Every structure is written in structure tokens, then in C-alpha cells.
Amino acid sequence: MSEYIEHDKEGISVGLVEKKLFTFAAPPDEMVLENGAKLGPITIAYETYGTLNPDKSNVVLILHALSGDSHAAGYYRNESEKPGWWDIMVGPGKGIDTHKYFVVCSNIIGSCMGSTGPCSVNPKTVQPYALDFPVVTIGDMVAAQKALMDHLGIEKILCVVGGSIGGMQVLEWIVRYPDMVVSAIPLATTTKHSALAIAFNEVARQAIMADPNWNNGNYYYGPKPNLGLAVARMIGHITYLSDESMRLKFGRRLQDKSDFSFNFDADFQVESYLRYQGKKFVDRFDANSFLYITKAGDYYDMEKLYGEGSAVKAFSKAKAKFLVVSFTSDWLYPTYQSKAMVKAMKKNGLDVSFCEIVAEWGHDAFLIPNVRLTTLLRGFLERVCRETRK
């Protein structure tokens, strides 16, 4: 029972929550990755909200994006701290109502937020893995999540939901474990990265690797590549916004000055904002994890993996009901990519609903309070529940 409950416009908070850890794949039973390497033991950080019903039919699995973590909702200590990254959507009375659903959110492998990744200790060397950590894929992340579901005794998932790289994990779930997933909500995502998305990720990775402190990934006992990681975050952050959102939020307004400095200080508000975002990011994220996760996103190609290059053939393996959502100002994963997957789903006779939400905030729109998105998720989950009970 939560010790603290905060009222807000869209229901109430789940209150105080606890990060949990699950460890599996201990030698000699390591997990075999898609590239053939073995990894183990593996620790998964996860959180749960709500109550699992007796027949375990009310599970909602939330899958996070690149820099997310298992802390999707609630607070660790008190109301003065920052809540979980999707607290606007998860909680009693919210879009994903924890009075109705048992919500699970786990940190992906390769990350640095509690799950095994490059900054974890390699049991063979008793040193951080660094670049000895094997390159993991979206499929490997989902396989680890499946192990967590098995540990929790969950055989059926009412809905898998996630945005961006989390949306890729949603797509992987529905084709890798089709009999386990009742419904799916891929948000602002794609079946494969465009050349543009790969290009931005590569520039960000190069920024990290060009930092002299990166030291080929072996920086854990010395200076860290903070400048490179900050620049990588600045690059990424630009892709998460939109021209309209930056115009409205910043325009060409100056930062705390009435004229140009005529040097290379942050004259414009947008420059100051990006520097702040980069500086804040290095305090909580690992540079090597950034490299690994962006590479996993770039490698993912659902059509090639499951359909011999055909989206229609790939989705023929799916059985879930779908709600696909895109956003008008998302130029990183534009709407045409969502429409392409919807078309492939419909050609397979799948139950699919699609909505393009008018939003000015770019790719990050699914993380920002939006009544339309909340209503869509709430209604879709309620419909799936009704139809499942029939």
C-alpha cells in the first residue's frame, strides 16, 4: 500500500514505489544473444504498480525508450522528488489505471539503470564490462523481459505499450511471443530506423568516442567522457523536438542578456537549454550504454528479421489487437512509418486502430500530458478487457 498519494488532474499517484531486482542466466545457463554471444548472470531492474488479479489477466507491460528506466510512475522517497517518467499516464484513475491493471516496467539490458549493461561488473574479470559487454539487440532486450515475466508467473500479457525504442520492443513482443500478447500499443515508433535516424545516432556516438576521456570505453576509474556524452544528448534532444516547439519555446530570444556577447557563450535561450540538457544527462547516464542502446535501435529491422523484407509477412505472425499512435510533428519517426505498419497489419486482417495526434512537441509528445492520448489508451484498454472477458 502506498504511503503517499498525490492528487493531480488525471487521477492520483501510485505513491511510494520500490525498484526490484531479478537475476537469472547464471553460468553455465547463460542467455544466448542474437549475435551468438553468451551473457550471464543477468540482472533486470523492474517496478510494479497495482494488484495482479487471481487469474493474472490484467498485466500491462510498459517498455521504455533510450534513456528511460524501470521508474515509470510514483516516487522513491517523497513528493518533493521527480516522479517516474510516465507518471502522467500510470496510476489510479489515469490512462493506465492501476486500480484495474497490474503494471510492470523493466529496465532494458545494456542500460545503466539497474539492469546488466556495460557499466556492470564482469564476473570473469571483476571489472566493469566496458566494451567487453556484448552488443545486444532489441530481441535480446525482449528475451530478458520474457524471463522476468516467467519469474513473475505471468503467462499472458493484456497489453504491451511503449514509445520510440520502447515501441520497437512492443513490435518485437508481438511477433516473438504472439500467443502471450493480447494487445499492443506502439507509440511514435517504426519497424526500422530510417537513414536519417541512423545518421543522428552515429553522429551522437562519434561525439562520445571522440572525447579523449572515453579511452575506448575504459573510463570507469578515471575522468568520464562527459563532454562527448553531453554533445550526444544535445544532438538527440534536437531530434526529439520539432521546429514548431522550438519556435514557440525559444524563438531567437537571448539568454539573460540584451545583446550578443560576440564570443562563443550561449547567447540564445535554445543554446543554453541544450547545454543544460547535456549537462543534466551526464549526471545520470552512462556513455557506453548510450552507444549500445542506439546501436540496438539502428540494428532493428522487423521486416528483415521476421518477414524476409516484407512488413506484411512479418505481421502475419502477430495475433494481438493494436492501437498505433503517431504525432504530427514527429520528424524522427514520422507518421508515414506508422501508416505503413498499420497497412501491413490490416492486410493480415488484424484488429488495428490508428490515430495521428496533432501535437506541436515533436517525437517527445507521448511523454507530455495530452488528453487525447490519455483518452485513447484508457478506451483501448477498456475495450480489450471487455472483449477478452466475452
- Taking only the tens place, the pLDDT of each residue in 245-288 is 999 999 999 998 889 999 999 999 999 999 999 999 999 999 99
Residue where the block lists cell 566494451: 131
pLDDT tens-digit profile of 214-247? Answer: 999 999 999 999 999 999 999 999 999 999 999 9
Three-state SS for 388? helix
Active-site residue (options: 64, 71, 193, 363): 363
**Lowest-pLDDT choice from 72-81, 207-216, 245-254:** 72-81
Strand 11-12 vs strand 7-8: parallel, antiparallel, or unpaired?
A: antiparallel
pTM strictly above 0.85 = yes
Domains of the chain, first to last: 7-192+301-389 (3.40.50.1820), 200-292 (1.10.1740.110)
How distant, in Å, are the alpha carbons of 42, 110, 164, 205, 299 from that of 288?
17, 9, 20, 9, 17
164 is catalytic: yes
How distant, in Å, are the alpha carbons of 32, 34, 248, 327, 369 from that of 139?
11, 7, 38, 26, 30
151 is catalytic: no
Active-site residue (options: 87, 97, 330, 364): 330
For residue 7, pLDDT over 50 is answered with no
| Dihedral (CA of 55, 58, 63, 69) sign | negative
Please report, rounded to a whole number, the percentage of residues in the chain having pLDDT higher than 70. Answer: 97
Say how far apart CA 366 and CA 86 lie, in whole Å: 9
pLDDT tens-digit profile of 317-337? Answer: 999 999 999 999 999 999 999
pLDDT at 9: 47
Average pLDDT, the chain: 95
351 is catalytic: no
How distant, in Å, are the alpha carbons of 14, 20, 93, 368 from that of 75?
8, 14, 17, 18
Q: Name residues whose C-beta falls within 8 Å of residue 341's C-beta, 6 or more positions apart in sequence.
A: 171, 186, 190, 191, 311, 315, 324
Active-site residue (options: 164, 289, 316, 338): 164
Could you tell me if 45 and 69 are in contact, meaning their C-beta atoms sit under 8 angstroms apart? yes
